[in-house]
Amino acid sequence: MKLLPIGYANFINKERIISIVSPDTSPVKRIISEARTNNMLVDATCGRKTRSVFVIDSGHVVLSAVQLATMAKRIDKNLKETDFLDN
């Protein structure tokens, strides 16, 4: 099991992550709302603004206060800053 730090002394199993998405879009807001309704939401933001959302293979949704680009770099050390620029 490989643990990924997601901020404020919280960790997630790196091997169970399906996707990491930005919380700003309407579909992701719906996913968060449905997860909250179904008791499948884990809020690891410690009261801060949500900056990335993890979807886990168990169906859980995990909120993090760490930037999406930072999380992607932590997962794949070979990524460069230019990989996150919109074309």
Helix (H) or strand (E) holding 55: strand 52-56
**Whole-number pLDDT of residue 79:** 64
Domain extent listing, the chain:
3-78
Here the tokens at position 79 are: 């990524």
Distance between first and last Cα of the chain: 35
Contact in structure between 54 and 43 (CB atoms under 8 Å): no
- In the sheet that holds 41-43, the strands lie side by side as 17-21, 52-56, 61-64, 41-43
| Alpha helices, DSSP H, located in 18-83 | 26-37, 68-75
- At 87 the pLDDT is 47
Q: Give 10-residue mean pLDDT values along the chain (87 residues).
A: 92 94 96 98 97 97 95 79 58
Q: Residue 78 has what pLDDT?
A: 65
pLDDT at 77: 76
